[in-house]
Amino acid sequence: MRKALIAAGVAAASLAAALAAGAATNATTKLEANLRGAAEGAPASNRGRAEIRLTPSTGRVCWELRITKIDGKPNASHIHKGRRGISGNVVVPLGAGYKRQGCTTASKALVRAIVRTPGAYYVNVHNAKHPAGAMRGQLIRGT
């Protein structure tokens, strides 16, 4: 009888942990990036901030970009896969052309991966002077 009660307790604890992990995955997660021109080989005066909200259960990706200074009109922004100092492929375009804010969708698996390891991804903003990127910042957990 005692073994059955212990087994039931372990099973209940495991189920509770699994449900909690699932709920955390479905919640919206806020990530941020401090955008700097120097991180892209552009003028250090190019600066801004990105706020990204990700919902793994739906694949929803929402963003708000606040550009403090840029040496030309922004024309695109993206989330790329790449650690600090490493250029990577675009994984989530943040709108067609440049949009200061908006929402899009990506695969649920990709959104889960970004939430799990935000430092492996970065946001950048492009302009005509700097087609490879006018500013960039690694994603970090938001406050």
One digit per residue, the tens of pLDDT, for the chain of length 143 reads 555 445 444 444 443 444 444 444 569 999 999 999 999 999 999 999 999 999 999 999 999 999 999 999 999 999 999 999 999 999 999 998 999 999 999 999 999 999 999 999 999 999 999 999 999 999 999 77
Q: Is residue 8 part of a domain?
A: no
Is 6 contained in some domain? no
Answer yes or no: pTM beyond 0.75: yes
Number of domains in the chain: 1
In a domain, 22, yes or no: no
Contact predicate 29/113, CB 8 Å: no
What pLDDT is recorded for position 79? 98
Q: What pLDDT is attached to residue 143?
A: 74
Q: 119 near 90, Cβ under 8 Å?
A: no
Residue 14: inside a domain: no
Q: Is residue 11 part of a domain?
A: no
pLDDT score, position 9: 46
Asked whether the beta carbons of 103 and 62 are under 8 A apart, the reply is: yes
Predicted pLDDT at 135: 98
Domain containing 96 equals 27-141
